[in-house]
Amino acid sequence: MAAGQAGRVFAGLALGLALAACDMPVPDASAPAPPRGATAADDVPSARSKALAARYARTERDLKARGLLRTDGGGPDTPFTDTDLMRNFERIVFFDEYAPGAGFRSPSGRAGGLRRWAEPVRIAVEFGASVPEEQRAADRDTLDAYAARLSRAARHPISTVRRRANFHVLVMSEDDRAEGLDRVRALAPDIDTATFGVFRNMPRSIHCLVVAFSDRGNPHTYDLAIAWVRAEHPPLMRESCFHEELAQGLGLANDSPRARPSIFNDDDEFAHLTTHDEMLLRMLYHPDLRPGMTPDEARPVLRRLLDEWQAGPV
- Which residue ranges form the domains of the chain, and what is each CATH number? 3-23+44-311 (3.40.390.10)
Is pLDDT at 3 greater than 60 in this prediction? no
Predicted confidence at residue 100, as pLDDT, reads 54
Q: How many CA atoms lie within 13 Å of 285's alpha carbon, on the beta-carbon side?
A: 24
pLDDT in tens, 209-243: 999 998 777 889 999 999 999 999 999 999 999 99
Predicted confidence at residue 102, as pLDDT, reads 46
Is pLDDT at 32 greater than 60 in this prediction? no
Average confidence (pLDDT) over 86-111? 74
Query: How high is the mean pLDDT of the chain?
Result: 87
pLDDT in tens, 46-64: 999 999 999 999 999 999 9
Predicted confidence at residue 23, as pLDDT, reads 65
Read off the amino acid at residue 175.
D
Is pLDDT at 106 greater than 70 in this prediction? no
pTM: 0.87
Average confidence (pLDDT) over 174-186? 97
Is pLDDT at 144 greater than 90 in this prediction? yes
With 0-12 CB in 10 A as exposed, 13-18 as middle and 19+ as buried, what is 196? middle
Average confidence (pLDDT) over 241-247? 98
- Cβ–Cβ < 8 Å for 242, 268: no
d(CA 111, CA 108): 9
Predicted confidence at residue 43, as pLDDT, reads 75
d(CA 229, CA 195): 16
With 0-12 CB in 10 A as exposed, 13-18 as middle and 19+ as buried, what is 233? buried
Lowest mean pLDDT of 63-72, 127-136, 187-196, name the range. 187-196
Nearest to 226 by CA among 11, 15, 7: 11
Read off the amino acid at residue 188.
A
- Cβ–Cβ < 8 Å for 210, 169: no
